[in-house]
C-alpha cells in the first residue's frame, strides 16, 4: 500500500514538473461545450512558436506588394518618417487587405474626423480575430489582432462617411503595421464644392464629381421636412448620385439611412465630404437621424 502511494506521488510530481501543454483549438471547443475538466491556474504568455499552429495562406500579388511596402519600414534602420510605415489603398478601387500576425498589432487608420457608427465593426470570424476601435482626439483607429496564423476572414467597418470592406489574412512572419486609404474622389468633390460656392455660376449646369458623362442637368426636386437644426441647406442629384449639403456649423454629423420599398431603414454606401453627404445611388426617400441624450432628431428627405 505504501509503495502504491509513493509511486502515485512520484507520477504527480513528474506531471507538475513537465512543460505545460497548450490544448488545440478543437480541445478548447470540447471543454467549452460541457466536458468536465480540472481547474486551471493562470499561465504565463506562451512563446510565439507555441501559438502559431496554422499554415500560412498563399498571398496574391497585391497582398505581396503590401507586405513589401510594410517591410521597408519594419526592417528599416531609420526612425519612422511621415508616411514611411503606411500601406495606402485607394478607396473604391478594389478590396484592401490587412496582413496581421499573432502577438503584433496592425492598425487601420480612418480619415481624420471619421467616426464609427454604433455596431459598425463586423468580423466574419469574431472568435479568432479581434478588431478594437481606439479614439484619440479627432482620430479613430481600429486595432487588428489574430489569434493564430493561416486564417482569413472579412472585416466590415461602417462609419459616418463610408463603408469599408477589408480582407484580413494572418501570417507567421509578415504583417502590415499601418493601413489607411486615400480618397481621390472626395478631393475632387471638395474642389467642385469650392467652385460652386465661390463662382456664382448657374448651379443647374454644373458638372459634379463622379458625373462621367460631362455636363448634365441637376435635379433639385427634393422635399425636406424635420428638425430645423439638422435640415440640409440643399439636396440635389446628377442622375447617378445624390448630394446632401449640410450646415458647416453642425457639431455632430447625423447618420443617413435610405427608406426601402417596405418602409424600413437600410444602410446605404455614402461619403461625407466638405459638409456634404455623397450617396452613390439615387433614392426616393431617406432620413437623417441624430441621437441627442434620450431623444432622436430626424429629418426626412423625399424626392419630388
- Surface-to-core class of residue 248, CB atoms within 10 Å of its CB (0-12 exposed, 13-18 middle, 19+ buried): exposed
Q: What are phi and psi of 301, to 5 degrees?
A: -115, 120
In this prediction, residue 155 has a pLDDT band, given cuts at 50, 70 and 90, of very high
CATH architecture for the domain at 220-301: Sandwich (2.60)
Burial environment of residue 43 by CB neighbours within 10 A (0 to 12, 13 to 18, 19 or more): exposed
Tell me the three cell numbers of residue 95.
478590396
User: Is pLDDT of 8 > 70?
Assistant: no
Of 124 and 17, more confident: 124
Does position 158 have pLDDT exceeding 60, yes or no?
Answer: yes
Residue 138 has pLDDT above 70, yes or no: yes
Can 74-183 and 220-301 be said to share one CATH topology? Answer: yes
Distance CA 236, CA 218 (A): 7
What is the enclosing helix (H) or strand (E) of 212?
none
**What are the φ/ψ torsions at residue 287 (nearest 5 degrees)?**
-135, 145
Domain boundaries, the chain: 74-183, 220-301
- The residue-averaged pLDDT of 278-300 equals 84
The reported pLDDT for the residue numbered 86 is: 80
CATH topology classification for 74-183: Immunoglobulin-like (2.60.40)
**Is pLDDT larger for residue 6 or for residue 174?**
174
Mean pLDDT of 38-47: 43
Residues whose CB is less than 8 angstroms from the CB of residue 154 and which lie 6 or more positions away in sequence, other chains included = 123, 124, 165, 166, 167, 168
Amino acid at each position: 500500500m505504501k509503495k502504491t502511494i509513493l509511486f502515485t506521488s512520484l507520477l504527480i510530481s513528474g506531471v507538475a514538473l513537465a512543460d505545460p501543454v497548450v490544448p488545440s483549438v478543437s480541445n478548447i471547443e470540447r471543454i467549452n461545450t460541457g466536458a468536465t475538466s480540472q481547474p486551471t491556474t493562470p499561465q504565463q504568455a506562451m512563446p510565439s512558436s507555441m501559438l502559431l499552429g496554422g499554415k500560412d495562406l498563399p498571398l496574391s500579388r497585391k497582398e505581396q506588394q503590401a507586405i513589401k511596402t510594410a517591410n521597408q519600414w519594419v526592417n528599416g534602420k531609420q526612425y519612422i518618417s511621415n508616411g514611411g510605415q503606411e500601406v495606402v489603398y485607394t478607396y473604391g478601387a478594389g478590396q484592401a487587405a490587412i496582413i496581421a500576425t499573432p502577438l503584433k498589432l496592425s492598425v487601420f487608420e480612418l480619415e481624420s474626423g471619421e467616426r464609427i457608427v454604433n455596431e459598425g465593426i463586423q468580423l466574419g470570424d469574431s472568435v479568432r480575430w479581434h478588431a478594437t476601435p481606439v479614439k484619440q482626439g479627432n482620430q479613430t483607429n481600429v486595432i487588428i489582432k489574430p489569434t493564430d496564423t493561416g486564417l482569413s476572414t472579412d472585416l466590415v467597418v461602417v462609419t459616418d462617411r463610408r463603408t469599408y470592406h477589408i480582407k484580413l489574412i494572418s501570417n507567421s512572419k509578415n504583417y502590415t503595421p499601418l493601413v489607411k486609404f486615400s480618397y481621390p474622389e472626395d478631393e475632387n468633390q471638395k474642389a467642385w464644392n469650392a467652385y460652386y460656392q465661390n463662382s456664382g455660376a448657374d448651379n443647374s449646369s454644373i458638372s459634379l464629381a463622379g458625373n462621367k458623362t460631362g455636363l448634365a442637368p441637376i435635379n433639385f426636386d427634393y422635399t425636406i421636412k424635420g428638425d430645423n437644426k439638422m435640415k440640409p441647406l440643399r439636396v440635389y442629384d446628377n442622375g447617378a448620385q445624390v448630394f446632401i449639403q449640410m450646415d458647416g456649423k453642425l457639431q455632430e454629423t447625423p447618420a443617413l439611412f435610405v427608406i426601402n420599398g417596405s418602409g424600413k431603414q437600410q444602410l446605404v454606401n455614402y461619403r461625407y465630404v466638405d459638409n456634404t453627404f455623397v450617396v452613390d445611388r439615387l433614392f426616393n426617400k431617406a432620413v437623417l437621424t441624430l441621437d441627442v441624450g434620450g431623444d432622436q432628431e430626424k429629418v426626412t428627405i423625399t424626392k419630388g
